[in-house]
Amino acid sequence: MYSFAKIAARLGLLLTLTPCLLYLFDLIDLGTVKLLMIVGMVLWFACSPVVQHINEKRSGGDGL
């Protein structure tokens, strides 16, 4: 579970950043940029808190 969430969170972050660079060099159109960034944002926001929660449990922190 942890490995999947970690990979998915990083993929979401990559999908948020990469389309901007591809659009800058005119390799993809604006509609595709928006779609990829929305998918990346949802993936990042869904998986990142899971990864953080697992890391807090492993380190024994109280979350403060």
pLDDT digits (tens, 9 = 90+) for 8-22: 999 999 999 999 999
Q: Three-class SS string for 1-64?
A: CHHHHHHHHHHHHHHHHHHHHHHHCCCCCHHHHHHHHHHHHHHHHHHHHHHHHHHHHHHCCCCC
The pLDDT score that the predictor gives to residue 61 is 66
pTM for this entry: 0.81
Taking only the tens of pLDDT, the chain with its 64 residues reads 789 999 999 999 999 999 999 999 999 999 999 999 999 999 999 999 999 999 999 888 665 5
**Average model confidence (pLDDT) for the chain?**
92
Q: Which residue shows structure tokens 């999908």?
A: 15
